Structure 1
């Protein structure tokens, strides 16, 4: 049993762990380990519990190099890391301990004189197991960057009690039947590309539809209409103002000429009348 959880361990996972051939329990969760696929640990034939959650493990998980990898594994927690790519289908076919239903007689996993205990977090609910039943089987791959389809072979793990694939980038329909019928929707939520039971999203629904107006568009709509109307008014007012000036100038100019002609003619006629009166008086 090796429990190094909740420390500040950094760097890579020591490859020398592969020599611990009798190791059954390895927990390095909640550290600062920055490493790639650690599935070289699959050579540990007796390993039953592997906890790597809340570290900096990253990259895709490679296919198994042998046909006998993690045969006794019952609990694996890779949550809250940065694993990516498709799920490692080849491993699920070799996890024999998860294929059988738990023993009828109640037994607990122990390291000879020490009982195994651990915290298992599923969908934000942290469960503390002071003793781990021999038949308990858990797969927690949540909060990573896994993608692609969920392999149907997971349904062959008939002894699997808890499956958590939430908060990833899986796509396509969720496999139905077999063990999949025992998992709640929380096992698959927060994967936008997934559909089918137990999720409410039905496969085949057309995603091509008129999207509702965004909050920005809704808030800006009346305002844009008002601004557009105001611009039209201003433009109309400006054009009318210029047009009025031009017409006024033309009218005023022509009016001056018209006044000059009229009043000039009247003044000329008045002068002629006065001259004629004077001439008549002298006579």
Structure 2
């Protein structure tokens, strides 16, 4: 029987008393049976201990809100049961290199690298291997992570119960989740220095609920293939350097309720149809070339921005023009 273990977050005072961080998970010849490692909100420093690879059964690793300094820990990809990886609010840095053979995070469902110092290209080479976020089948039903236990109703009757919580920005708000649906999937790479185009390979992750690439330096145009992410409920691409128009194909995402492309360099008409009629002005702010509802800037027949007429047509004309501005 697998051991049921939860490593509770240490308080700041305990963490400062030299937590045995260098090698707390056994030697290279020992086996660590931990399945949940939650060390968020401490003062842990230095790199992640390589002894973590001895925790063969680990499902969740959360080291958010610490002072860890390291490049992307690709070696964690060899943990074949790892489903949730949260590294947010640390000092991870550098480019995310090509995945090595056997270290591709195949079962990953949630990854949060936000508020770090990653740069270069998005980890597009990894996307094709993250099958835990792809190939969604709705007939699996609603299963929670902490229902995966012997005798329970989870997908895998051999996995023991483990309860955890995590903080993630969802629907535009930072929230604490204590019980997560088993099929919940999220990629949060926001607040880094990624500078590239959004790769087509990301559309392989067609089981994604949440995609947050905001506050980076992404360039290029929005790809129509993003419309293939049919499960998306939240898409945040704000505060980047994206150009061109908003593809009409994005209106084909049936459940999207949060859409934010503010503060880019987008232009042209805002698409119409389905959920796009419900997004507020704030979704499009900071794009001087966008036009159409819900913005007050109207589009000309060519589909481009048409400024309001300055022609004086009566005593109320000046008031009307000022209100539009």
Please give the range of the TM-score, normalised by the shorter of the 2 chains.
0.5 to 0.7
Indicate the structure with greater helix content: 1
Gaps of 5+ in 1: 208-283
Pairing 1:77–2:112 present: yes
Quote the residue 1:230 is aligned against. Answer: none
**Separation in 2, partners of 1:68, 1:36:** 15
Matched-pair contact (CA < 8 Å) for 2:207–2:231: no
Q: TM-score, normalised by structure 1?
A: 0.67
Structure-2 change in CA distance of 1:52 and 1:168 (3 Å): same
Quote the residue 2:267 is aligned against. Answer: 202
Displacement after TM superposition at 1:187 (Å): 1.1
Quote the residue 1:176 is aligned against. Answer: 224
**Separation in 2, partners of 1:185, 1:27:** 22
Quote the residue 1:234 is aligned against. Answer: none
2:241 to 170, 192, 201: 192
Displacement after TM superposition at 1:196 (Å): 3.1
Quote the residue 1:19 is aligned against. Answer: 54
The alignment's C-alpha RMSD in Å is 2.5
Structure-2 change in CA distance of 1:167 and 1:100 (3 Å): same
**Separation in 1, partners of 2:243, 2:216:** 10
Quote the residue 1:121 is aligned against. Answer: 169
Structure-2 change in CA distance of 1:90 and 1:186 (3 Å): closer
Partner SS state of residue 52, structure 2? helix
Matched-pair contact (CA < 8 Å) for 2:77–2:102: no
**Separation in 2, partners of 1:20, 1:124:** 34
How many correspondences in the alignment? 206
Q: Deviations over 1:125-158 (max 9, x none)?
A: 1122111111100000000000111111111211
Structure-2 change in CA distance of 1:128 and 1:67 (3 Å): same
Matched-pair contact (CA < 8 Å) for 1:53–1:77: yes
Q: TM-score, normalised by structure 2?
A: 0.58
Partner SS state of residue 18, structure 1? helix
Partner SS state of residue 91, structure 1? helix
Structure showing greater radius of gyration is 1
Question: Which 4+ stretches in 1 moved above 6 angstroms?
Answer: none
Quote the residue 2:208 is aligned against. Answer: 160
**Separation in 2, partners of 1:113, 1:87:** 33
Quote the residue 1:149 is aligned against. Answer: 197
Quote the residue 2:186 is aligned against. Answer: 138
Gaps of 5+ in 2: 1-35, 149-159, 248-260, 269-286, 290-325
**Separation in 2, partners of 1:79, 1:11:** 18
Displacement after TM superposition at 1:47 (Å): 0.1
**Separation in 2, partners of 1:134, 1:108:** 4
